[in-house]
Amino acid sequence: MYDLCYVISFGFAARMLLQTGLIERLTEQGKTVAIITPDPNDPNLRELDSNPRVAVFALREKYKLWDEDYLFKRKYYLEDIKANPALWEKHVHGLWYSRSRHPWRRIRPLYYYLIHRLIPYFPIIRQRFVAQEKSYLASAEAAALLDKIQPALLVSTYPVNFLEAKLLHAAKEKSIPTLLHLLSWDNITSKGKFPVIADYFIVWGAIMYEELQSYYGIPAAHIYTCGVPHFDNHIERQQNPQYREQLRTMGLDPAAPFLFFAMSAQRFAPREIDIVERLAREIEAGTYGADLQLVVRPHPQNLQGHMASESWLGRLKALPSQRVAVDFPRMHSSALKWSIQKEDMNHLSDLLVGCSICLNSGATISIEALLVDKPVLLTSFDADAQLSYWKSARRLVDYTHLRKFVDLGGATIVHSYAEMDRAIRHYLAHPEADREKRQRARFRECYRDDGHATERVVAAVDDLLVQLTTKV
């Protein structure tokens, strides 16, 4: 029997649980930890081989088209997709802009939307779907593995993943308490309703806390607010800055200021590469100052998976100059999507700590930049192109989680090159501008900026295990 069983189905979850030392700290307290993953040979997981209190178990659920289809169609059956900007965007993209050649994937957005429109008149459609959900989620392999592990608590990080949903369902069927440690800021509002609702939750900050209560009616006593473990590293590196060495290794001037552009995938910001190239030219021309430099970091989505873009890759490789560098994420070859190497975490932290301004289209990096008090610019435009709203980067800032962030003052939206240029000059001249707004957004999103989120998570898990033991 194990005290805890963590499900790691995603590379970013490995970063949160392993590269922060969270699992190790739990074992140092005497906890025994099982890990279920589709890839036990992932290098991040292999580092736990020498820990006698950790055991890694493989579970490779066959992921067929109809399995994928279940997660796709449940949004149409259970939610008002038109009222949710992220879900409606996914619908429109699948209907008009999908690159899939599979005939069913091309037609299913229309098919399920027609059913969605019928449900108010024929509610039995929804009732039957809900009644059938258990059959979709039932997994003999997941159930057998939990019987083998016998955890006191099952911990999921990404409940909209089919493997994790099946394990959560199996745990519920066996009366094993469940905890959802939310991986990212958009998981509650942008991914659709969770297939299985956990018993307890660990959230980043007040915004996630309020969303859980609003969307799911989760009691306050079942929610732990802890901050973001994998952001602790940013605070630590801020206290001991080492970014100058990073700049030197990239061929840049370690003493000169730099902008940091953290890219999205082509799917979300199709003309972002044009903005990056134009920004690089302006940097080289000295438009914003004679010594200003630029560091561009592609998102892992640009390098791995179905969103990767070969056309972008060549253009990115052509960017470097004496004043422009491209920092490609250091990735493992793994079945875990976007499995980041441990040393990359320090590299990213150093770049955030050292930069003057962080630019992106609407990624999580916005919050990370706020933790080290950097102005954030959201490039909500499409270079010189006039794209439809549903293909444009403009749509991203209308996602619920991003809209809340912007309304708090966490970022400045720029809608054109002219606005971007003015904002860059403004924040270079006045880095303290909007600091109070950034601080307000930072605490609402992340609870605290003390670098002790990992410790709070460990304490929360310990408290929960004590509670569960007492109940038994």
The total of other beta-carbon atoms located within 10 Å of residue 248's CB is 12
Contact 89, 395 (CB under 8 A): yes
- Cα separation, 355 vs 295, in Å, equals 9
Closest CA to 325 of 243, 209, 400, 212: 243
**Full DSSP string of 278-294:** HHHHHHHTTTT-TT-EE
At residue 373, φ and ψ (nearest 5 deg) are: 60, 45
Closest CA to 348 of 274, 309, 295: 295
Band (472; pLDDT cuts 50, 70, 90): low
- Cα separation, 183 vs 187, in Å, equals 7
- Cα separation, 357 vs 259, in Å, equals 5
- Cα separation, 144 vs 184, in Å, equals 30
Cα 342 to the center of its chain, rounded Å: 17
Closest CA to 376 of 328, 441, 312: 441
For the chain, the domains span 4-61+139-227+452-471, 65-135, 232-446
Q: What is the pLDDT of residue 100?
A: 83
Which SS3 state, helix, strand or coil, does residue 295 take? Answer: strand
What would the two tokens of residue 272 be?
């972002």
pLDDT digits (tens, 9 = 90+) for 48-79: 999 999 999 999 877 666 677 888 899 999 99
Per-residue pLDDT for 338 more than 70?
Answer: yes
pTM of model > 0.75: yes
Q: What is the mean pLDDT of residues 108-120?
A: 96
- Cα separation, 257 vs 157, in Å, equals 37
Q: Is 3.40.50.2000 the CATH number for 4-61+139-227+452-471?
A: yes
Q: What is the mean pLDDT of the chain?
A: 93
Contact 363, 323 (CB under 8 A): no
232-446: what CATH class?
A: alpha beta
What proportions of the chain, in percent to the nearest 5, are helix, strand and coil?
50, 10, 40
Give the start-end residues of each E strand in 323-470. 324-326, 357-360, 376-379, 412-414
Q: What is the pLDDT of residue 105?
A: 87
Q: What is the mean pLDDT of residues 209-221?
A: 96
Per-residue pLDDT for 176 more than 80?
Answer: yes
pLDDT digits (tens, 9 = 90+) for 225-278: 999 999 999 999 999 889 999 999 999 999 999 999 999 988 899 999 999 999
Q: What is the pLDDT of residue 305?
A: 61
- Cα separation, 373 vs 9, in Å, equals 32
Q: What is the pLDDT of residue 306?
A: 60
